[in-house]
Amino acid sequence: MRLIEGISRRRSTGYPIRTGCRSLSRTETWSHGGHDRVNCDGQLYTIEGIAAALLMIMTAYLVVNATSVYTAGDTHISDMQLEQMGSDALKIMDTPLVENEKSPLQDIVENYNPGSNNATFGSMFLDLTNLRAGSGSDHIQYTANFTCRINPGTEIASYPLSYSRNLTLGEHAVRVTKWVTVNKGAAAFCGTTNTERAVLVEVLMWRD
C-alpha cells in the first residue's frame, strides 16, 4: 500500500517514475499531463537494423564489383577498334585524290626503294590513325610490308615498306591488310613489266 501511495504522489507532483533500465530498461517521464517514453529495447532493435542494412549494402557492393561477365566481343573490343581504324586508313590511302589517277598507296608501292623507310607512307598512316576527338593524339606504332608473287614461278616475296619502330615481341599488335593494284610499266616489278600486279600491303599496328 505504501508503494502504491508513493507512486500516486510522484504522479501527482510530476516527478519521473523510473523502473530498472540497466540491461533492458524502460524510462517514462510524465510532465504537464503528457509523457515521453524512451524504450531501451526499441533503441537496441534500431541499432541492430541499421547495422544489418549497412552490412547488406556493403555485401551487395562487393559482389557487384567482384563479379563481371565478359563476352568475347568485350575482351577484344579494343583490338577490333584498332583493326577497323587501320583498315580505314589503308582504304583512304588507296583512294585516288584525282579521278583516273593513281592512289597515294599505289605510288608508294611502285616507288619502293629497297632498304629505305618510306616516309610518305609513315606520315600518311600515322596522320590518319592518330587522329582523336578532343585534345591530344593517339600513340599508334606500326611496321608495314608488301608481298607479291615473283613471276614467272610460284615464289612469294615480302619486302619491308615502312615502320615507326621495330617490334620487340612484347607488343599486342593487330594486323590489317589491303590489296593494291600496281603497274610500273616498263620497269620490272615482282618479275614482270607492263603488267598489272596484285600486291598485298600488310601492316602490324599497336598502341604504346
Instruction: Give the start-to-end residue ranges of the domains of the chain.
Output: 2-66, 72-207
Predicted confidence band of residue 4 (pLDDT cuts 50, 70, 90): very low
Is the bond preceding 96 in cis, omega lying within 30 degrees of 0?
Answer: no
* pLDDT at position 74: 57
> Three-class SS of residue 33?
coil
* pLDDT at position 177: 96
∠126-182-105 over CA atoms, to 5°?
15
Q: DSSP label at 52?
A: H
d(CA 182, CA 106): 6
* pLDDT tens track for 123-145: 999 999 987 766 667 889 999 99
Q: Do β-strands 140-149 and 156-163 pair in parallel, antiparallel, or remain unpaired?
A: antiparallel
d(CA 163, CA 78): 22
* pLDDT at position 75: 53
CB neighbourhood size of 28 (10 A): 14
**Once rounded to an integer, what is the mean pLDDT over residues 89-100?**
93
∠29-30-35 over CA atoms, to 5°?
85
**Once rounded to an integer, what is the mean pLDDT over residues 68-96?**
81
* pLDDT at position 40: 65
Predicted TM-score (pTM) of the model is 0.60
* Inter-residue contact 152 to 191 (CB < 8 Å): yes
* pLDDT at position 33: 42
* pLDDT tens track for 29-69: 444 444 444 566 667 778 888 988 899 998 888 877 766 56
